[in-house]
Amino acid sequence: MKLNFSDKELFAKLEESAFDGQLDYSEFPPGEYKYFSLLTRLGYNNRHKGWTKETCELKQQEFCQEYLAHVEERDEWLNHARTVQQRIIKTTELSRQLNFARTKEEALPIALDLIEQLTEEPGLRDRLLNSLVSLSA
């Protein structure tokens, strides 16, 4: 079962279950596993070691901040991976177009687009085309 951890109501229920020691988080992703594992230990310490409610709330806030930082970092990596995948798709398509170009004039802009994508340098194509136009004039 895939859970939507961004659903605040569901997340609060999961937190409560973890604190009570009733949550099976063994199939959760690593960040969520760590967070709910810490909450389970926190609940255990509250019930069996006499930790106060205030101490537990402070620790839970600390754990939650660490978890949110992890989620933010994970999302950044996910977005980066998506960008890389999009660039791969774009360069593959440009390479295919380049292979089917019939003339140098048709191939040049495509080749420059391909170089721009590979170097991740926006505007490179236009600068190079302008340089080539000024050289030929």
Residues 70 and 122 in one domain: no
* DSSP-derived secondary structure letter, 102: -
Q: Residues 9-52: pLDDT tens digits?
A: 999 999 999 999 999 999 999 999 999 999 999 999 999 999 99
**Shared domain check, 81 and 109:** no
d(CA 68, CA 120): 30
| pLDDT-based confidence at residue 137 (cuts at 50, 70, 90) | low
Same domain flag for 74 and 13: yes
Same structural domain, 67 and 105 = no
The model's pTM is 0.73
Q: What is the pLDDT of residues 84-134, one digit of tens each?
A: 999 999 999 999 999 999 999 899 999 999 999 999 899 999 998 888 888
For 60, the domain range is 1-85
Among the listed residues 95, 90, 78, the one whose alpha carbon sits nearest the alpha carbon of residue 117: 90
What is the per-residue pLDDT across 52-88, written as a single tens digit (0 to 9) for each? 999 999 999 999 999 999 999 999 999 999 999 999 9
Name the amino acid, one letter, at 79.
N
Q: How far apart are CA 113 and CA 137, in angstroms?
A: 22
Q: Do the domain assignments include residue 121? A: yes
Q: Is residue 94 part of a domain?
A: no
Whether residues 51 and 107 fall in one domain:
no
